[in-house]
Structure 1
Amino acid sequence: MTARKPAQDCASLAEIRAGIDSLDAELIALLAERIGYVRHVAPFKIKEGVPAAAPDRVAHVLAAVRARGEAAGLDPDMLEAMWRPMIDWAIAHEEEVMGKG
C-alpha cells in the first residue's frame, strides 16, 4: 500500500491525481487477486455438480456489494453496475473451463 495524503489534505490537482493513480494501482492488484480466485472456482463446481451460473450466489454478492457500498457512503447502483460485468465475465470463464462456453 502506498502512503498518500487524504484527499482533503491535497493542495493541488497533481496531488489529487497522484492519490487517484495510487488507488487505481491498488484496485488493479485487488482485482487481479479476485480474478485469481475466480479462475480456481470451476474445478470445485465440476466436482460438486454446480453450474457456472448460480443466480442465488449472484444475488448474494450484489446485495453484499450494495450494502457495503451504502455503508461506505457510495452509490449502490453505481457499484452494482461495476460488479455485474465482473460477475458476467466470471460466469463466462467458468462455462468455458467447464466445457459449456
Structure 2
Amino acid sequence: MPASKAPADCTNMAELREQIDALDTALIDLLAQRVGYIDRAVDLKKVEGLPARTVDRVAEVKARVRALADARDLDPDLAEALWHTLIEWSIAREAVHLG
C-alpha cells in the first residue's frame, strides 16, 4: 500500500519509517509486476526476432524516465541510474532466455 501520509504530516520517526516501509512494499510490488512484462517480452522477442538489447528502446526509456523524474522534482540522475540498473538486469535476464 502506498504511503498514506505526506512527509510533512509525520510527527515522529516511527510514523515516517512506516510510510517509507509502505512505499518500499509498493515499489517491490511494482518491480515484480514489471518483471512479468520482461518475461513476456522474451516470448514476443522470439516470435518477432528481436534481440535482448534494443539500443533505441534503452535510450527512449532512459529519456522518458529522466523527463518523468524532472517533472516530479526528483533528481533525473538518480532516476536514470536506478533505471540503468533495472534495464541492464532486464536485458541480461532476456538474453539468458533468448540464447
Identical aligned residues as a percent: 48
Unaligned runs of 5+ in 2: none
Post-superposition, which runs of at least 4 consecutive aligned residues in structure 1 deviate over 4 A? Answer: none
- What number of residue pairs does the alignment pair up? 99
Normalized against structure 1, the TM-score is what?
Answer: 0.93
Secondary structure in 1 matching 2:88: helix
The RMSD of aligned alpha carbons is 1.0
TM-score by length of 2: 0.95
User: Is 1:87 paired with 2:91?
Assistant: no
CA distance in 2, matches of 1:79, 1:2: 19
Q: What is the 5 A alignment of 1:2-81?
A: 2=2, 4-81=4-81
Structure 1 unaligned spans of 5+: none
1:3, CA displacement in angstroms? Answer: 5.9
Greater helix fraction, Structure 1 or Structure 2: 2
* Deviations 1:2-36, CA, capped at 9 Å, x for gaps: 56221111100111111100100000000000011
- CA 1:81–1:49 in 2, change beyond 3 Å: closer, same or farther? same
